Amino acid sequence: MLSIEYDGYVKLLNGLITSIDSIEYNDKIKIDEIVRKLQMYIKRCFGFSSTYIIDVIRIDFSRLGQLDAWENGCGSLKNLINVIIEDLELYNTISVTGKKSKDKEALVGNVNSMPQIKNVSKIFISHSSVDAHFGRAIVKLLRGLGLKRNQIVFTSDPQYGIPLNTNIFDYLKKQIKDGVYILYLLSDNYYESVACLNEMGAAWVAQSQCTIMAVPDFEYSNPKFSKGVIDPKQMGVVLDDEFRIVELKNNILVQFGLKVDEMDWMDIYIEYIKTIKALCNVSKFSNNMDRPISQIIYKTGEKPGKGTYNCTKCGQAIFLEDTTDNLPPCPKCRSTQYRVNINIKINSDLYL
């Protein structure tokens, strides 16, 4: 791609972001036009088989009559365009510096915000046993990408764990020393585990390459993370961040020399996202089991079930008619947190 072409496409893509910012709520005709143009630009820049085409299709504008669906859809579209611009910048940098075309082919479609894996043959998932259910979803994703069983170390599953009659600490120490790649699955549970912190410290001393991942309710602004040994400036992944998971996939394929059929990848990807979202719902339900219902906080975007909910800031009441409805931002003050209204009879469907 010539530099002038790169500049032109970046200008066009930034123009789409401006159009999204200025579009009126629920204008399906204009949003369809923006989506069509974006798909055309993707095909011209990356080809008809680019996974970005699928990413556009997956953005949900099916419930345009609902404010939260509109805002989420527009936000996701803008995020995707920014990722594509970063990808084009990487492609253009390689073209200008004159690297071989095969290098360009390896990097196009992969945003260079993920750490590069070099000279490693295994991935070690460092996690708290309490978060093993999330770890299993990651293992399934890695296997779907083509990693073999003996290339994954995941101690919560005997199939990927420590060999029989082997000292666990000696084994992990050897893996780290031999240059295993670390996937840190961060959570509050992780930082409360002495064993996890020991793993993190040992990997840091060995200067092991790593990717940081977080369970969906763990914030990277958490002081536990910022005060730890991992560089807080390193770009991380949240397990349900659909764009970052695609980046992780691309990075692993390139660095481990793997290939995956795009249709197979879509099946793997969709199943992974469904699994993570289902696990999040189970986790929230479990965490709320021993709490009075009046103390449970629900956030915008969640699907708490049928019932009436009051904004925690201004008291505005919202009624959800269906178990599949998402909580919108408060129409009065735009706050994003609610409590269930315990003064109104609660429909039994709330707990289905």
Report pLDDT for 341.
63
**Can you give the pTM of this predicted structure?**
0.51
Report pLDDT for 67.
66
Report pLDDT for 349.
36
Give the span between the Cα atoms of 255 and 184, in whole angstroms. Answer: 18
Please report the beta strands in 103-179, taking only residues with DSSP state E, as ranges in sequence order. 123-126, 152-153
Give the span between the Cα atoms of 61 and 224, in whole angstroms. Answer: 37
**Among residues 199, 219, 262, 271, which one is catalytic?**
199
Q: Which of 116, 60, 114 is nearest to 87 (CA)?
A: 114
Per-residue pLDDT of the chain (352 residues; tens, 9 = 90+): 444 456 677 888 888 999 988 888 878 888 888 888 888 887 777 665 566 776 777 776 665 556 677 888 888 889 889 888 887 776 665 444 444 333 334 433 333 344 444 567 889 898 998 899 999 999 999 999 999 998 998 988 888 877 777 777 677 777 777 777 889 999 888 988 888 887 777 776 666 678 889 998 888 888 888 777 777 777 788 898 877 888 888 888 877 888 888 888 888 988 898 888 888 766 554 454 444 445 567 788 777 777 788 888 888 888 887 767 788 888 888 888 888 764 443 333 333 3
Report pLDDT for 307.
77
Report pLDDT for 302.
79
Report pLDDT for 139.
95
Strand partners, 123: 152, 181
Report pLDDT for 68.
72
Report pLDDT for 193.
86
Report pLDDT for 104.
39
- In this structure, the strands spanning 181-186 and 123-126 are parallel
Check if 89 is active-site: no
Report pLDDT for 347.
38
Distances (CA, A) of 50 to 59, 265, 328: 16, 12, 33
Strand partners, 308: 319
Assess contact for 56 and 35: CB atoms under 8 A: yes
- In this structure, the strands spanning 337-340 and 123-126 are unpaired
